Structure 1
Amino acid sequence: MEIVYVYVKKRSEFGRQCNFSDRQAETNVDIQPDPSQAKNFIERDPIDAAIQCASDMSEHEVNTERFEMENEGVNHLEGGWPKDVNPLEMEQTIRFRKKVEKDENYVNTIIQLGSLMEHCIKQNNAINIYEEYFDDEETADVADEPPSAKTINVFRDPNLIKRTATHLSWHPDGSKKLAVAYSSLEFQRSSKDMSYESYIWDLENPNKPDLVLRPSSPLMSLEYNPKDSHILVGGCYNGQIAYWDTRKGGQPVELSTVEFSHRDPVYGMIWLQSKTGTDCFSASTDGQVLWWDIRKLTEPTETLVMDISRKGVLENALGAIALEFEPTMVCDEPLFSLRLQDNGRFIGCGSKLGTVTLLEVSSGLCTLQRNEKNLATAMFERETKREKILEARHREMRLKERTKAEGKEEDVKVETEEEKPEELLARVQKEFFEIIEAEIRRKERAAKLSKAQEKEVTDENEDEDPYKEE
């Protein structure tokens, strides 16, 4: 089995070129003559020397030892577990790890192994002749340039029937991969031949997906686990929740049951920063937020029901419905999803036809410039002082108004009783029916007026007709 890894790096990332220049000669060592060695000097007389017209040439051959190469592969299986622990059961492995970590010898063993591993790792270190030793002292100057972004890669939906890239998620470890959820957002427009697959793309290879995810229904949202980069959780169009382990392939490890899932498409997934890293939240337009444990997706851990009239707030907050705007420099298609990399250097844009465009922003937008922190801090302090001054001014004005009002109300005090709920309901109903009757009368008057105007126009036309029989 041949294992090949192609490492691609831009010339601009190699570092600065070594420039050599002329300088004055420097004396490093000065050895003075020894007079005692003069007695060992012998003059040669005569001296014979051979001279020829052709230049001297020599030839030298070296036969080095041949370097032999072999291709080897390693098939690593889960091992080291006791017989009573099933490595395929996550709960058993987690319970066993916690038990081992509480052992006193565990820490000492890890420290000893860490020192050995550190020694082996340092053997592969190389000297960086361009290393900056004083980066923390002062930030590098950034050239004044207008903010811009350039296209690095374009990842297109490999299916013939194009779908919308509904959600993007960056790989938490180095952001070298991008998970994209594909689905059709047009209601009842999907055909039978439309694929349900979503993909994980490698930034270095835009021609073929790195991994294919095969859900039971098109994915509306997809999120990497920030603690375990091999685990992803996704929300489907039919309301189900599924999670994948990339080490086990593209089929979901577990899928939530339909009766305990959402009733509408799942537009948002959020991982909970818990100790185990297995809890997540899902949000849908059915007005529910469900708390899930991926180790048990048969039913949610908790259900948070929201007001269905405010579901639009949830959609906008979780990025469920992205605004469609006129295409500009990114691509010629409407954009429906947007995700920024953790370090702020790359931006992924998903379009309606499933095209994901990778943009690299200019250094002026993502690099901390000189005195930027100080300027921002000064601005916040200035705004804080301004806010305190305005609050004090408003407090003073309210105090003056309250003093005036109290002076006027000292002579006359009117006690008002609160309106009962029954009286309030009756008054509102009466006002409502009065508005309806007024609107009906207005429409009747408008209809009579329009009929009268039509009759007048008809009479005028009959009077002006020259062919009318007298």
Structure 2
Amino acid sequence: MDLEYAYTKKRMHFGKRCNFSDFDKTEVEIKSNPALMNNYVRMDPVTHATQCSKVFAVHEVNTTTATYRDNKMFHYEGGWPKDINMKDLEQTVRYRRKIEKDELYIHTMLQLLPSMEHCILQNNACNIYEEYFADVETISLIQRAFSRTVNVYRDPLTMKRQITHLSWSPDQGNRFAASYCNVDFKKTFSSNYTSYIWEVENPNNPYITLKPFCPILTLEYSPKDSNTLIGGLITGQVGCWDLRRGPEIIDISSVEFSHRDPCDKTLWINSKTGTEFFSASKDGQIKWWDTRKLQVPTETLVIDLSKPENQNMDKATGISALQFEPSMGTRFMCGLENGIVISGNRKGKTPSEKIATRFRAQYGPVISLERNPTFVKNFLTVGDWTSRVWSEDCRESCIAWTPGHRDFLTGGAWSATRYSVYYLIKVDGTLDVWDFLIQEDSPVLSIKVCDESLTCLRPHEQGQLAAVANKKGSTYLLEFSEALTVNQKNDKLLLTALLDRETRREKVIEAKNREQRLKMRTLKMHGELDFTDASLKLDEREESKKSSAGLKNALIVQCEQEYENIINAELTRQAEANIVELNNNVMQNGRIIS
């Protein structure tokens, strides 16, 4: 058997390419001549200067190079006699006192001081080349606020559906879940009810496609497990997904124990097992669930504001917003369709104790409700054309609010990292960024995200990103600048002072209003505001009004008379001045004739 091996070499290693030409030429061979070396003068070294611009200097001038050297010295305590232990404080102090009492001590110190002082002065010399603040980060006084669109995630279906909810995954927020549902029932019926989980880095294709039997209104990631999700369905039921077991729903609640209206609000609860959550709907019910036994709710609360003890479903007020703060245990909040915000406690023994605190927040339905991540006593409400910031210490009025917008607000959320920043979305496709520490009357940044109405907003836990969805099924991933995401050194102190000041102001106003109401109630109890007195006071008011009207008319007539007298006096003065001037002219003419 013959073995054969081929050696290959790239063309680039052969050298310069040979170009052959077809014409006559003469080649001459010139051999080296050693005699020519005598005419060659070797110069070593050879320097050649290159200057790009024109040289104007007559002579070359250069400064002497300054050479620096760093010297270190280790100081050890020495010079002690052998019988003295330098680590024993009493022995060293006693020996020092003995030496200081010696007659030669002062003379010796006077000889050593000049040289020591010279070294100290040399050591204190300032190095002009030293960078004293090299490690200090320079921050500009006014930072520019801006944002940019990172990615756009579009609905793969041809018939575009509205995005009703967004939720970030707990594993560093690399994915987010979006629920797609046409809440307008006039739309064309579609049998495709899929919702998607998207990867941040891949906007072209969904990461996972969820396939329920009916449209999903809300999807929420578990804060402890990135593979578990809960969702509210359009049938009023709640379901659970485990991504490790596929895109199909693994458990669902029973229809008879679920909500009567579409379930559009679900939130996880901070529990030891990590399996509890609660849901709300427009039917006015709040239900607590456990994913280990999802068929029946563990607890139900009906929001009946007239008589909470009756739990009457016919008189319940629809819930339009839901909020839960993990750091506050059993406390929860819900926004109602009549503009009232309920701050409840699940530990209450009766329904009236569970929904004891009420805030008259908006004139219309409360669309968004969220606590500040740092100042949990303060919460944000969004509804109709305004957003308001409330404090739990003030129940009658908010402590801050935005002016009325021209376009309807559809949602809002606090920034996850910067204390004073929150976002608002509107029906015209605009996202507004508000910062209380900079200005309170207008947003610091307004972004035109798209031409369609924005439906939901969810900031990233790291604060720099935010996902915004619109009515046509597109999700926009926005990135904000450091001015909107990073806190400055004194931001927390400044915002604390601002919130405390506004809270005290509202407390003073509430106390005055309470005192006025108490005074009116006391007058009613003593019978001083009966019908007779009221009619007499009404007559007195009418008489006083008539007398004031007569006095006003008299003053008007008097002013008109005075104005007319002034005009007449001015006309008389001008007439007299004209007569005097005419007489003077006549006298001058007579003199000229004579």
Deviation (angstroms), 1:294? 0.9
Distance 1:379 1:215 in 2: 48
Query: Quick one: which amino acid aligns to residue 467 of structure 2?
Result: G
Cross-structure match for 1:171 = 169
**Greater share of strand residues, 1 or 2?**
2
Which stretch of structure 1 is more off in the superposition, 222-231 or 318-327?
Answer: 318-327
Deviation (angstroms), 1:147? 3.1
SS of 1:310's equivalent?
coil
Distance 1:331 1:183 in 2: 20
Distance 1:402 1:240 in 2: 49
**Is the alpha carbon distance of 1:212 and 1:262 closer, same or farther for their aligned partners in structure 2, counting shifts above 3 Å?**
same
**Is the alpha carbon distance of 1:400 and 1:355 closer, same or farther for their aligned partners in structure 2, counting shifts above 3 Å?**
closer
**Is the alpha carbon distance of 1:408 and 1:200 closer, same or farther for their aligned partners in structure 2, counting shifts above 3 Å?**
closer
Query: Quick one: which amino acid aligns to residue 236 of structure 1?
Result: L
Query: Quick one: which amino acid aligns to residue 250 of structure 1?
Result: P
**Equivalences for residues 89-238 of structure 1 within 5 A:** 141=139, 144-192=142-190, 194-238=191-235
Among residues 261, 264, 269, which one is paired with 2:266 in the alignment?
269
Distance 2:154 2:246 in 1: 22
Task: Give deviations 1:414-466, integer Å, cap 9, x for gaps.
Answer: 9xxxxxxxxxxxxxxxxxxxxxxxxxxxxxxxxxxxxxxxxxxxxxxxxxxxx
**Equivalences for residues 13-24 of structure 1 within 5 A:** none
Cross-structure match for 1:260 = 257
**How many residues are paired up?**
284
Deviation (angstroms), 1:205? 0.9
Taking every aligned residue pair, what percent have the same amino acid on both sides? 43
Distance 2:472 2:519 in 1: 62
Task: Give deviations 1:157-208, integer Å, cap 9, x for gaps.
Answer: 111111111100011221111110011111152424x421111111111111
Q: Given the two structures, how large is their TM-score scaled by the length of structure 1?
A: 0.53
Among residues 302, 327, 330, which one is paired with 2:449 in the alignment?
330
Distance 1:181 1:346 in 2: 19
Structure 2, unmatched stretches of 5+, are 1-64, 72-134, 305-314, 321-335, 338-364, 370-382, 384-408, 411-425, 431-447, 533-594
SS of 1:242's equivalent?
strand
Distance 2:524 2:160 in 1: 68
Cross-structure match for 2:488 = 369
Cross-structure match for 1:241 = 238
SS of 2:484's equivalent?
helix
Deviation (angstroms), 1:143? 5.5
Distance 2:525 2:262 in 1: 57
**Is the alpha carbon distance of 1:389 and 1:232 closer, same or farther for their aligned partners in structure 2, counting shifts above 3 Å?**
closer
**Is the alpha carbon distance of 1:402 and 1:289 closer, same or farther for their aligned partners in structure 2, counting shifts above 3 Å?**
closer
**Is the alpha carbon distance of 1:213 and 1:28 closer, same or farther for their aligned partners in structure 2, counting shifts above 3 Å?**
same
SS of 1:141's equivalent?
coil
Asked whether the equivalents of residues 142 and 363 of structure 1 are also in contact (C-alpha less than 8 Å), the reply is no
Distance 1:353 1:343 in 2: 27
Alpha-carbon RMSD across the aligned residues, in angstroms, is 3.7
Distance 1:159 1:278 in 2: 33
**Is the alpha carbon distance of 1:319 and 1:239 closer, same or farther for their aligned partners in structure 2, counting shifts above 3 Å?**
farther
**Is the alpha carbon distance of 1:395 and 1:221 closer, same or farther for their aligned partners in structure 2, counting shifts above 3 Å?**
closer
**Is the alpha carbon distance of 1:258 and 1:404 closer, same or farther for their aligned partners in structure 2, counting shifts above 3 Å?**
closer
**Is the alpha carbon distance of 1:368 and 1:218 closer, same or farther for their aligned partners in structure 2, counting shifts above 3 Å?**
same
**Is the alpha carbon distance of 1:183 and 1:404 closer, same or farther for their aligned partners in structure 2, counting shifts above 3 Å?**
closer
Query: Quick one: which amino acid aligns to residue 225 of structure 1?
Result: S
Task: Give deviations 1:273-307, integer Å, cap 9, x for gaps.
Answer: 11111111111222222211111122222222234
Asked whether the equivalents of residues 268 and 318 of structure 1 are also in contact (C-alpha less than 8 Å), the reply is no
Asked whether the equivalents of residues 142 and 364 of structure 1 are also in contact (C-alpha less than 8 Å), the reply is no
Distance 1:392 1:285 in 2: 35
> Based on CA coordinates, which of the two structures has the bigger radius of gyration?
2
Asked whether the equivalents of residues 168 and 177 of structure 2 are also in contact (C-alpha less than 8 Å), the reply is yes
Asked whether the equivalents of residues 284 and 319 of structure 2 are also in contact (C-alpha less than 8 Å), the reply is no
Distance 2:501 2:189 in 1: 58
Distance 1:233 1:168 in 2: 12
Structure 1, unmatched stretches of 5+, are 1-22, 30-133, 415-470
